Amino acid sequence: MAGLCEGRVVIVTGAGRGLGRAHALAFAAEGAKVVVNDLGVALDGRAAADGPAQLVVREIRKLGGEAVAHGGDIATSAGADSLVETAVDTFGRLDTLVNNAGFLRDRMLVNLDEDDWDAVVRVHLKGHFLPLRAAAAWWRAQAKAGRRVAARVVNTSSGAGLLGSVGQGNYSAAKAGILGMTLVAAAEMGRYGVQVNAIAPAARTRMTEQAFAQTMAAPEEGGFDAMAPQNVSPLVVWLGSEASAGVTGRVFEAEGGRITVMEGWRPGPTADRGARWTASEAGEATLKLLAAAEAPLPVYGAR
CA atoms of 200 and 202, how far apart (whole Å): 7
Sign of the dihedral through C-alpha 198, 196, 242, 140:
negative
CA atoms of 233 and 229, how far apart (whole Å): 7
76 CB-near residues (< 8 Å, 6+ apart): 130
Report yes or no: 56 and 65 within 8 Å, Cβ to Cβ.
no
Report yes or no: 3 and 190 within 8 Å, Cβ to Cβ.
no
Phi, psi (degrees; rounded to nearest 5) at 201:
-85, 155
Report yes or no: 51 and 71 within 8 Å, Cβ to Cβ.
yes
CA atoms of 270 and 131, how far apart (whole Å): 39
In order of 10, 77, 258, 277, 291, the CA distances from 201 in angstroms are: 19, 27, 10, 42, 32
Active site residues: 158, 171, 175
In order of 68, 121, 131, 159, 269, the CA distances from 240 in angstroms are: 18, 25, 15, 21, 37
CA 150 from centre of chain: 19
Beta bridge partners of 37: 70
